[in-house]
């Protein structure tokens, strides 16, 4: 579907220079001389390379629609991950690279969304947050103020996260999968 060069929004997937790109950031710029344009930071969907492009309102860009389908994560085997289609019970095996850094938060039975273009899986999106247990946390430093003081803690999957001082070992917390940051104490 053709869209105007000014209509690109973060998260849109476009076809540009015979490759698929996801718009990461956009900024409208109106220079003192010449016409206005949209500065767009693009990230290649397949290999992750970045590109900065300028699009004018007069340019048409091909916006790509990706098919999204929910799958269930079954297991990991070396660099390969196996998912099951919730409707047909068919299994597919994909490389860990399609998930990226959040792969450490994959849990057995987790529901994920797999985006595909022309029947080829392009990316795997995890839920925004996951609940995990703290297995190791530093002791609270006496006299430390509560305002913006965080301490390092280790999660059950081995990754590290910064948590508030009141969080102790054995506590279950909610973690943002995009940037591995503490959200809140789990309510379970």
**Structurally, how many domains does the chain consist of?**
3
Phi–psi pair at 175, nearest 5 degrees? -120, 140
Domain endpoint, select from 78, 101, 125:
125
Q: Tens of pLDDT along 80-133?
A: 999 999 899 999 999 888 787 888 888 889 999 998 888 888 888 889 999 999
Q: What is the Cα Rg of the chain in Å?
A: 21
- Same domain? For 91 and 117 the reply is yes
Domain endpoint, select from 63, 81, 104:
63
In this structure, is the dihedral angle defined by the CA atoms of residues 89, 94, 100 and 103, taken in order, positive or negative?
positive
For 140, 164, 177, the CA distances from 182, given in Å and listed in that order, are 17, 8, 10
- Same domain? For 21 and 59 the reply is yes
What global pTM score does this model have? 0.74
Render 59-84 in DSSP notation, one character per residue: -EEEEPPPEEEEEEEEEEETTEEEEE
- Same domain? For 32 and 51 the reply is yes
Domain endpoint, select from 14, 30, 63:
63
The C-alpha atoms of residue 157 and residue 101 are separated, in whole angstroms, by: 13
Closest CA to 104 of 171, 184, 177: 177
Q: Tens of pLDDT along 37-73?
A: 999 999 888 777 899 999 988 889 999 888 999 999 9
């Amino acid at each position: 579907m053709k869209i105007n060069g000014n209509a690109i929004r973060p998260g849109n997937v476009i076809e540009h220079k015979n490759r698929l790109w996801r718009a990461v950031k956009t900024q409208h710029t109106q220079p003192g001389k010449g016409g206005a344009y949209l500065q767009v930071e693009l990230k290649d969907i397949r290999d992750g390379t970045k590109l900065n492009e300028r699009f004018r309102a007069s340019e048409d860009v091909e916006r790509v629609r990706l098919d999204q389908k929910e799958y269930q994560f079954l297991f990991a085997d070396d660099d390969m991950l196996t998912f099951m289609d919730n409707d047909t019970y068919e299994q597919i095996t994909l490389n860990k690279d399609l998930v990226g850094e959040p792969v450490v938060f994959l849990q057995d039975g987790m529901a994920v969304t797999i985006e595909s273009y022309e029947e080829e899986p392009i990316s795997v999106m995890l839920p925004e947050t996951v609940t995990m247990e703290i297995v190791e946390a530093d002791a609270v430093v006496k006299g430390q103020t509560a305002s913006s003081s965080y301490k390092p803690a280790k999660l059950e999957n081995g990754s590290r996260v910064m948590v508030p001082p009141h969080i102790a070992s054995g506590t279950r917390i909610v973690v943002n999968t995009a940037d591995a940051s503490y959200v809140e104490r789990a309510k379970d």
